[in-house]
Amino acid sequence: MHTIIHPSGEDDTQAVACALAHEGSVAELVSGCTYAFGHLCPPHGSTIMGFGSTNYTEPKGYNTPRIVPAPGATAVFDFSDPERCRGVTMMGFTIDGLATECTAISGGSEHLFLDRLYIVNCLDGVGGSVAGSSSYSCVMIARHCKIMRCSRHGISSPVDSEFDGCIVADCGTSYYALPGANHNRIRGGRCEWSKTGEHFRLAGDSKTPVRDWTFGGSLQMDRAATCSVFLRHCHHIQFGGDVASERPGRAGMTGPAQSAHIYAEDSSVVTATGVLMWAGANDDGSGVFSPQYAYEFAGVNPDVILSGGCVHGGYTGPHAIHYANGCTPAAMPRHRITGVGGLADFHH
């Protein structure tokens, strides 16, 4: 069943829920119109769609339908019901959180497909626990979405997921991973202007690390507040030869993990090949010239391999590599550098 939904000017959650009462139903939203949803839980195999693509023109002039939170909602889309919300498709519309403490799309989804969504002014863009949902989103595919100005996280704790050509900008942290948020692929796209932290904060623990993230496909990371990538208790992290990290550390802090392209702590099998690293003045009026280091290590990091990377000129401190908290190269078993511009080769 395919139903065109017209906005009521009030809470439209029930109208859309009725249109999606049967699995596989389609609810079509009208471009240029504003809807109010609160804790909408789409059923299995359903589709919510608009027409248009992501843009930067707000609060008026959207070229997609626009959804705002219904009064009192803490999530626009709520995937806390484990018996529903599997295999849902959402495409071609805007979610505007109106700078409230509202999450756009909660954690708890499985096989969620997002295409050309524009998510802006929310607490979290995608993921995070809401109304008892899981904090994790499993087997998600997000393609050509823009997630902007989310005060906490742009994307939180994906598992077995793929992000293709997404832009995450001006969020607290661009991507955040709790322990066990494993097996994710970042292909292309751009992360920039993180407000308070990193573009990628993968924070496992000693019992449950974060595993198997790959970065490639012309991914650009620019102007993180602290480091571009933070790894703690992570295993099997791979950066391909078409990844660029530019000017992280724009907050001007100098502690561990606060001014480097890549920070790794108690992580293993981390490989970076041909990653382009730039230092430079941030264009936010602060005058900060960052980052201090290309790579920063703390704890024990076995099997960290830096090969063929271009870091010459990519840092402002005296050395490209910094060992934090009294750590030394000798504490890094099988730590090796091969053919990295500006760095002497070595192999422990």
Query: What's the CATH code of the domain at 305?
Result: 2.160.20
Same domain flag for 140 and 225: no
**pLDDT for residue 341 is more than 60:** yes
Mean pLDDT of the chain: 91
Same domain flag for 54 and 158: yes
Greatest Cα pair distance in the chain: 67
Picking from 168, 197, 228, the residue at the C-terminal end of a domain is 168
Number of domains in the chain: 2
pLDDT of residue 55: 61
Same domain flag for 120 and 24: yes
Same domain flag for 213 and 282: yes
Helix (H, G, I), strand (E, B) or coil at 331: helix
pLDDT more than 90, % of the chain: 72
Same domain flag for 227 and 90: no
Contacts of 9 (CB under 8 A, 6+ apart): none
Same domain flag for 159 and 30: yes
d(CA 18, CA 25): 10
Picking from 117, 147, 168, the residue at the C-terminal end of a domain is 168
Helix (H, G, I), strand (E, B) or coil at 158: strand
157: domain CATH number is 2.160.20.10
How buried is 238 (Cβ within 10 angstroms: 0-12 exposed, 13-18 middle, 19+ buried)? middle
Predicted confidence band of residue 211 (pLDDT cuts 50, 70, 90): very high
Here the tokens at position 29 are 């939203």
Q: Which of 133, 181, 135 is nearest to 161 (CA)?
A: 181
pLDDT of residue 274: 85
d(CA 195, CA 171): 6
Same domain flag for 226 and 342: yes
pLDDT more than 70, % of the chain: 96
Same domain flag for 137 and 182: no
pLDDT of residue 339: 77
Same domain flag for 240 and 223: yes
Picking from 168, 188, 216, the residue at the C-terminal end of a domain is 168
Residues facing residue 322 across a β-bridge? 296
pLDDT of residue 285: 78
What is the domain extent for residue 15? 1-168
| pTM exceeding 0.85 | yes
Mean pLDDT, residues 68-73 taken together: 96
pLDDT tens readout for residues 263-278: 999 999 999 988 999 9
Predicted confidence band of residue 57 (pLDDT cuts 50, 70, 90): low
**Residue 235 corresponds to which amino acid?**
H
Same domain flag for 137 and 201: no
Same domain flag for 151 and 28: yes
Same domain flag for 185 and 86: no
